[in-house]
């Protein structure tokens, strides 16, 4: 008799844990404190700006594709139009089907404030490998 009650309790434990988790999750929801109408329209309420000595930034690392291509939907394909580009910025297709690519690695911005120096250093991690400042390829 005692063994049967114990196994029934074991079966109820996961269900009870799930119910407690759901109640705890819903207890954190408070619809009275948030009015969706304050977030839309001509004058939305914006959060106060936060000042950081070093703002949190996540800079994507640049890596070459090599022989890999992105996965696309059935019936589509990915082909390289050009290789060996250091910093392609814009693509323009001409009426005859030719493609123009603008590769840009503009001149260094002037450093007027310490902030500009730090910004240039951080942006260097995004990695521009182009040796020529700007060029048009066809």
Give the pLDDT confidence of 70-106 residue by residue, as tens digits: 889 999 988 877 777 777 778 889 999 888 888 777 6
Kindly state the DSSP code that residue 120 receives in the 8-state scheme. Answer: H
Residues 37, 41, 47: CA angle, nearest 5 degrees: 70
Q: For the segment 33-78, what is each residue's pLDDT rounded down to a tens digit?
A: 667 788 888 888 888 888 888 777 777 777 777 778 888 999 998 8
Selection from 90, 98, 97, 93 nearest residue 136 by Cα: 90
Instruction: Beginning with the edge strand found earlier in the chain, give each strand of the sheet holding 134-137 in spatial order.
Output: 88-93, 99-104, 134-137
- What gap in Å lies between CA 74 and CA 88, rounded to an integer? 27
């Amino acid at each position: 008799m005692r063994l049967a009650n114990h196994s029934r309790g074991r079966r109820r434990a996961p269900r009870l844990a799930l119910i407690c988790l759901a109640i705890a999750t819903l207890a954190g929801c408070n619809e009275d404190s948030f009015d969706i109408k304050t977030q839309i329209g001509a004058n939305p309420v914006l959060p106060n700006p936060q000042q950081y000595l070093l703002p949190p930034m996540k800079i994507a690392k640049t890596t070459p594709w090599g022989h890999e291509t992105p996965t696309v939907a059935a019936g589509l394909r990915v082909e390289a139009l050009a290789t060996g580009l250091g910093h392609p910025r814009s693509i323009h297709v001409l009426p005859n089907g030719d493609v123009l690519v603008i590769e840009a690695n503009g001149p260094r911005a002037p450093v007027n404030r310490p902030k500009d120096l730090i910004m240039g250093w951080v942006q260097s991690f995004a990695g521009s490998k182009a040796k020529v400042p700007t060029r048009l390829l066809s």
